[in-house]
Amino acid sequence: MKNRILFCPICQNQSLKLKFKYTSKPDVEMDFKIDESDYYREYYECIACGHMYGKVDYDFSKFYNGEYTKITYGQGIQKTFDRLINLPEGSSDNEKRFKFISNFLDSFFLDKKEIEILDVGSGLGVFPWLVNKSNLKITALDPDKRNIEHIKKNIGVKTYNKDFFDLKTKKNFDVITFNKVIEHIINPEAMLQKSLNFLKKKSFLYVEVPDAKASQDGKNREEFTIEHFHVFSKSSLKILCKKLSLNCLKIESVIEPSGKYTIRGIFSFT
């Protein structure tokens, strides 16, 4: 471990606790082909805001351009997509997510059919599929070419095939969604800050992240896998967004149908 964490990356408090230590890959984690003798990482918890930060010496800089999809789904992108969109009612994380956002759209906009949504890190496109199915306008962004080709073929919505930090467009959106995305970024504040460049006035961000409450069930959970630099508390997510002068309109902790501990919040940009 090259550098010890000295302060919370969200609230900057120096009261940190070493929460978890890993010397081998948990069963729930994808196989990134890290040599067993080199596998070591830690999770620290901020005593002040409850945020958890993963310390790992592994370079993920180019990982999401292709390897993530390859390791997660192999050659089964279509098969996995078909399974997810055909889950029984009440069993889909994406379905619950869409209902939460859709209900809020009804109260926030006069006519949600006219709004435009940007989904950052769309992956297989299950969420864009649900949005498009409801006749709402959505653009899907993902750095992996295979995901974008799949989305174009199966959903037919507008797309950006690029890293969000490389996005350059004069187009502005009414809603930008980050569905389990910012925990993968060392500096999530920079990602949310950039998103403000693409938001219209009187618009909002939807941010969904893993919940640190999962730690009550131990360290061998999907919330704490190696690619998650951050696991949030409601306090830490609100602090992060307050730094960007975003107003918290709604935030809640839920356990999803998949069993994941999740925080989801809606933050307005005025």
Cα 235 from Cα 265, distance rounded (Å): 11
User: What pLDDT, in 10s, does the model give residues 148-180?
Assistant: 999 999 999 999 999 999 999 999 999 999 999
pLDDT-derived band at 19 (thresholds 50, 70, 90) equals very high
Residue 77, both tokens: 């992108």
What are the angstrom distances between the C-alpha of 244 and each of 13, 240, 262? 19, 7, 22
pLDDT-derived band at 5 (thresholds 50, 70, 90) equals low
If one counts every other C-beta atom within 10 angstroms of the C-beta of residue 243, the result is 13
pLDDT-derived band at 270 (thresholds 50, 70, 90) equals confident
Domain residue extents for the chain: 64-211+237-269
pTM above 0.75, yes or no: yes
Does residue 75 have a pLDDT over 70?
Answer: no
User: What pLDDT, in 10s, does the model give residues 196-207?
Assistant: 999 999 999 999
What are the angstrom distances between the C-alpha of 5 and each of 8, 12, 130? 8, 11, 40
Under 8 Å between Cβ of 17 and 44: yes
pLDDT for position 176? 98
Cα 163 from Cα 24, distance rounded (Å): 30
Percent of the chain predicted with pLDDT > 90:
81
User: What pLDDT, in 10s, does the model give residues 82-138?
Assistant: 999 999 999 999 999 999 999 999 989 878 889 999 999 999 999 999 999 999 999
Task: For the chain, report the end-to-end CA distance as a whole number of angstroms.
Answer: 42
- Is 64-211+237-269 assigned to CATH 3.40.50.150? yes
Instruction: Read off the pLDDT of each residue in 226-231 and give the average, rounded to a whole number.
Output: 96
Strands 173-179 and 199-210, sheet pairing: parallel
